[in-house]
Amino acid sequence: MIASKEKISHLSHLQCWQCHRCYPADRVISTATCEKCGNNILLNMYENLSGVTQQDIDIKTRSMWRYFSMLPVFDKKNIVSLGEGFTPILSLERLAKNIGLERLLVKDESSNPTGSFKARGMSMAVSKAKELGIARCIVPTAGNAGGALSAYCAKAGMEAVVVMPEHTPAVFKKECLLYGAKLVLVNGLISDCAKRVAQLNQDNEYFDMSTLKEPYRLEGKKTMGYEIAEQMDWKLPDIIFYPTGGGTGLIGMWKAFNEMVEMGWIPPRLPRMIAVQVENCKPIVETWLGNQENCKRYSGKATIANGLAVPHPFGEGMIIATLKESQGKPMSVSDEEITSSLREIAKEEGILMAPEGAALLTALKKSLLENSVSQNETVLLLNTGSGYKYLEGLN
């Protein structure tokens, strides 16, 4: 057994989400395909959890790496960090009053390196890639993940290839180039970028960092769940609104909550998880409503909330399972509603949210109107990024 005092990783193995087949944790798993049941997601599993306590949190580390014992990197010298995570939870008092809610909070991810929560996933995945001896990475992206991969690869001295929709605002492209990445532009959405990645990576020259096709970005996003619990004194909010594209953050937080329940850090009463999508691209909503069997043939359009233009989320099954288990649901809002919420939050609270984050306020207002959220519940919005990167698209 690993002594928890040493603050070393408790990672034990990888496990298929669907059929539970186990895989060793020290091997390169590039496209996370289960040999037994096919196209499924492999999760990092940890051992001896009863021995891990809140004392294992490395409180001197003011980044997501303070939860090292519950993260998949074995050796701290492989950590590639730019100071990601440990973001604030702010109280939105004026907005709460305006909409008739007692307690409205936001976990504000805009202060992360490269301006979004994607830093968490990429810090983790690039660190693990370094540990596994990988030197070249590739990713399809709606924008933010590409910038984050580029920055962390620059820090690690690795090569990065970023494949992005042509219509993405210029700042997302420029940052990749400044960080030294190779940028490939595609006429289409992230699903078209994913096809280009498959073509470019036919010879498996690169580590494919596509959402949930490698098992480590999820573990980085999971740290949002640990931080929420720690910052809220181990009493989770009643409801979490999360802008859902590929769904990694939603699934990651849910994994964190369940790990913490298993370790006895929090009681088993977990928040309802609300996945917020956009009218232009709402595959999860359509599957949830029974309008399609799954998202495979869904066709989406571009939106101001670039990160939500994900028509075929690879993790659809896990997203829906999370919503069901948490007694939450998916919702959708329009681009016009997002712009108006973005302005309202900026004016009332002094926070310029990414459109993806701003979408949550509209969804919350709709939930209050339909009584699926009540006035005395504690609501947490997860603002996933900074609005500054989107300014050219706002008029």
Ligand X SMILES: Cc1ncc(COP(=O)(O)O)c(C=O)c1O
| Chosen residue from 249, 283, 330, 387 binding ligand X by CB under 6 A | 249
Could you please report the per-residue DSSP string of 40-86? --EEEEES-GGG--GGGS-TT--SGGGGGGGSS-S-GGG---SS---
Based on the shown chain and the rule CB under 6 A, indicate whether residue 63 belongs to the binding site for ligand X: no
Could you please report the per-residue DSSP string of 182-223? EEEEESS-HHHHHHHHHHHTTT--SEE--TTTSSSHHHHHHH
Based on the shown chain and the rule CB under 5 A, indicate whether residue 37 belongs to the binding site for Zn ion: yes
Q: Binding partner of residue 248 among Zn ion, ligand X, none, CB under 5 to 8 Å per kind?
A: ligand X
User: Rounded to the nearest 5 degrees, what angle is found at the Cα of 355, between the Cα atoms of 350 and 357?
Assistant: 70
Nearest Cα residue to 255 out of 17, 8, 2, 10: 17
In the region spanning residues 210 to 239, those forming contacts with ligand X, defined by CB under 6 A, are: 211
Minimum gap (Å) between residue 110 Cβ and ligand X = 9
The letter for the amino acid at 394 is: L
Based on the shown chain and the rule CB under 6 A, indicate whether residue 163 belongs to the binding site for ligand X: no
Rounded CA-CA distance 251/246 in Å is 10
| Chosen residue from 36, 97, 195, 235 binding Zn ion by CB under 5 A | 36
Dihedrals φ, ψ of 146, to 5°?
-65, -45
Q: How many CB atoms lie within 10 A of CB 291?
A: 10
**310, two tokens:** 């994900």
Q: Which is nearer to ligand X, 113 or 385 (CB)?
A: 385
CA distances, 387 to each of 115, 117, 138, 342, 346 (Å):
9, 13, 25, 8, 10
In the region spanning residues 176 to 215, those forming contacts with ligand X, defined by CB under 6 A, are: 211
Contact region with ligand X (CB under 6 A), list: 33-41, 138-146, 152-160, 289-297: 138-146
Q: Binding partner of residue 245 among ligand X, Zn ion, none, CB under 5 to 8 Å per kind?
A: ligand X
Based on the shown chain and the rule CB under 5 A, indicate whether residue 16 belongs to the binding site for Zn ion: yes
Q: Which is nearer to ligand X, 8 or 82 (CB)?
A: 82
Contact region with Zn ion (CB under 5 A), list: 32-40, 204-212, 315-323, 373-381: 32-40
| Chosen residue from 220, 225, 237, 246 binding ligand X by CB under 6 A | 246
Based on the shown chain and the rule CB under 6 A, indicate whether residue 284 belongs to the binding site for ligand X: no
Rounded CA-CA distance 368/302 in Å is 28
Q: Binding partner of residue 36 among Zn ion, ligand X, none, CB under 5 to 8 Å per kind?
A: Zn ion
In the region spanning residues 364 to 393, those forming contacts with ligand X, defined by CB under 6 A, are: 384-385
Specify which residues 353 forms β-bridges with: 386
Coil vs helix vs strand at 345: helix
Q: Which is nearer to Zn ion, 39 or 299 (CB)?
A: 39
Minimum gap (Å) between residue 120 Cβ and ligand X = 10
Q: Binding partner of residue 142 among ligand X, Zn ion, none, CB under 5 to 8 Å per kind?
A: ligand X
- Which residue has the CB atom at the shortest distance from ligand X? 307
Based on the shown chain and the rule CB under 6 A, indicate whether residue 287 belongs to the binding site for ligand X: no
Minimum gap (Å) between residue 32 Cβ and Zn ion = 10
In the region spanning residues 329 to 368, those forming contacts with ligand X, defined by CB under 6 A, are: 354, 356
| Chosen residue from 79, 142, 149, 163 binding ligand X by CB under 6 A | 142
| Chosen residue from 245, 271, 311, 387 binding ligand X by CB under 6 A | 245
The position carrying tokens 């050219």 is 392
Rounded CA-CA distance 341/6 in Å is 46
61-100 per-residue burial string, b: 16 or more CB within 10 A, e: under 16? bebbbbbbbbbbbeeeeebbbbebbbbeebebeebbeebe
In the region spanning residues 261 to 290, those forming contacts with Zn ion, defined by CB under 5 A, are: none
Contact region with ligand X (CB under 6 A), list: 11-19, 125-133, 164-172, 241-249: 241-249
Could you please report the per-residue DSSP string of 349-378? HS--B-HHHHHHHHHHHHHHHTTSS-TTSE
- Is residue 156 within 8 A of residue 123, CB to CB? The reply is no
Q: Binding partner of residue 115 among ligand X, Zn ion, none, CB under 5 to 8 Å per kind?
A: none
**Interface residues toward Zn ion, by CB under 5 A:** 16, 18-19, 21, 34, 36-37, 40
**Interface residues toward ligand X, by CB under 6 A:** 116, 118, 142, 144-145, 211, 243-249, 307, 354, 356, 384-385
